[in-house]
Amino acid sequence: MRAYCISDNVDTQTGLRLAGIEGVVLHEKEEILKTLQEKQKIHPLPSSL
């Protein structure tokens, strides 16, 4: 299983990082969409979803 946290809350990101899940804290819609596109290029979702 792969997980990556995109959050607007530092506490959420910190807690998940302590659990071993990488992530970023973003607040702007453009930043979020750009990050989602980048992550999907690296790890595309299966077509069965």
> For the segment 1-49, what is each residue's pLDDT rounded down to a tens digit?
788 999 999 999 999 999 999 999 999 999 999 999 998 888 776 776 5
For residue 49, the model assigns a pLDDT of: 55
**pLDDT reported for residue 40:** 86
Q: How far apart are alpha carbons 27 and 24 in whole angstroms?
A: 10
Contacts (Cβ under 8 Å, ≥6 apart) of 36: 6
Whether residue 4 contacts residue 39, with contact meaning beta carbons closer than 8 Å, is answered with: yes
* Reported pTM: 0.72
